């Protein structure tokens, strides 16, 4: 994709601080400056998000997410990670190239990595009936 910022990073048109790279994926520091150690993992193949991603590309990307997360906890002094993904604009996706955020965590962090939701508006039984995929 010509105008995709992540595709431009993959092609080397925009510089990045690479953390890990293999033939199918790239991970690099997020420039948001919001949390120390914030890393993005992307497939080199352009797919919009989890919803349109083929199994092979998703498997390769998740394998890299796991590799980078393990490195952070085993080699870099972090105690855990938050792994975040937004698929689709209503979910908060702002760059329309599949990516996972890895936020390294320590028990002394002054923030939670879980969003604060306003509370469910529907009965759980009604939602369960609508979303269940098994008979």
Question: Would you please indicate which residues are annotated as catalytic (active-site) residues?
Answer: 99
Q: Are 108 and 124 in contact (CB under 8 A)?
A: no
Nearest-5° angle of CA 106, CA 80, CA 17? 90
Q: Are 27 and 41 in contact (CB under 8 A)?
A: yes
**CB count in 10 Å sphere of residue 4:** 16
Contacts of 80 (CB under 8 A, 6+ apart): 73, 104, 105, 106
- CA torsion sign for 57, 63, 64, 66 is positive
Q: Please give the radius of gyration of the chain, using alpha carbons only, rounded to the nearest integer.
A: 17
């Amino acid at each position: 994709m010509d105008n995709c910022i992540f595709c431009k990073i993959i092609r080397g048109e925009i510089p990045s601080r690479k953390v890990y790279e293999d033939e199918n994926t790239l991970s690099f520091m997020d420039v948001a400056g919001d949390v120390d150690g914030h890393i993005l993992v992307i497939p080199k193949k352009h797919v919009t998000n989890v919803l349109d991603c083929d199994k092979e590309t998703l498997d390769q990307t998740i394998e890299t997410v796991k590799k980078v997360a393990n490195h952070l906890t085993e080699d870099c002094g972090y105690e855990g990670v938050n792994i975040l993904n937004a698929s689709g604009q209503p979910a908060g996706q702002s760059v329309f190239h599949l990516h996972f955020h890895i936020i390294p965590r320590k028990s002394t962090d002054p923030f939670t990595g879980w969003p604060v939701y306003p509370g469910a508006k529907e009965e759980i039984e009604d939602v369960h009936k609508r979303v269940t995929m098994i008979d």
